[in-house]
């Protein structure tokens, strides 16, 4: 399925400084749905070029990273269990502290 992935707040530095990625990700063999847990594993393998620990911790994102599915906090849609659909936009943003 086609998804748009966006990285911000410095996370884009982990994937060759490219902020927006139009990607095609399919559910794993034997599954009919793709959820956020699958997507994170896919991102880690296919998009993150350096320092994966700056993006993930365990099978989720590291502390300080907000995940938004279609402009909505993934806490509201079930976090790792959020089911993705065709043309969804997923944003990964690192919280900023500067001023």
Partner 1 sequence: MEANGGESSRILREIENLKSAKSEIERRISDLEAQLRDIDEKDETKTNSTRSCPPLSNGDSGFGHGLSPDMIYRYSRQLLLPSFGVQAQSSLLKASILVVGAGGLGSPALLYLAACGVGRLGIVDHDVVELNNLHRQIIHTEAYIGQSKVESAAAACHSINSTIQIVEHKEALRTSNALEILSKYDIVIDATDNAPSRYLISDCCVVLGKPLVSGAAIGLEGQLTVYNYNGGPCYRCLFPTPPPTTACQRCSDSGVLGIVPGIIGCHQALEAIKIASDVGEPLSRRMLLFDALTARIRIVKIRGRSSQCEVCGENATFTAKQFQEFDYEKFTQSPLSMTPLKLDLLPTEARISSKEYKERVVRGEPHALVDVRPAHHFKISSLPNSMNVPLSSLEARLPEISSALKREEEHASLYVVCRRGNDSQRAVDYLHKMGFTSAKDIIGGLESWAHDVDPNFPTY
Applying CB under 8 A, the residues found at the interface with partner 1 are 8-10, 19, 53-54, 62-66, 68, 71-73, 75-76, 91, 93-99
Name the pairing type of β-strands 60-61 and 34-35. unpaired
CB of 29 to partner 1, least distance (A): 33
* Smallest separation, CB 2 to partner 1 (Å): 20
* CB 64 to partner 1: min, Å: 3
Q: Closer to partner 1 at the Cβ: 31 or 50?
A: 50
């Amino acid at each position: 399925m086609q998804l748009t992935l966006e990285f911000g707040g410095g996370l884009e530095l982990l994937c060759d400084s490219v902020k927006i990625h139009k990607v095609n990700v399919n559910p794993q063999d034997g599954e009919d749905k793709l959820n956020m847990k699958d997507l994170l594993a896919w991102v880690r393998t296919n998009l993150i070029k350096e320092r994966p620990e700056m993006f993930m911790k365990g099978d989720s994102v590291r502390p300080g990273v907000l995940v938004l599915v279609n402009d909505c906090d993934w806490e509201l849609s079930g976090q790792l269990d959020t089911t993705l659909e065709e043309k969804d936009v997923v944003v990964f943003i690192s919280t900023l502290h500067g001023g």
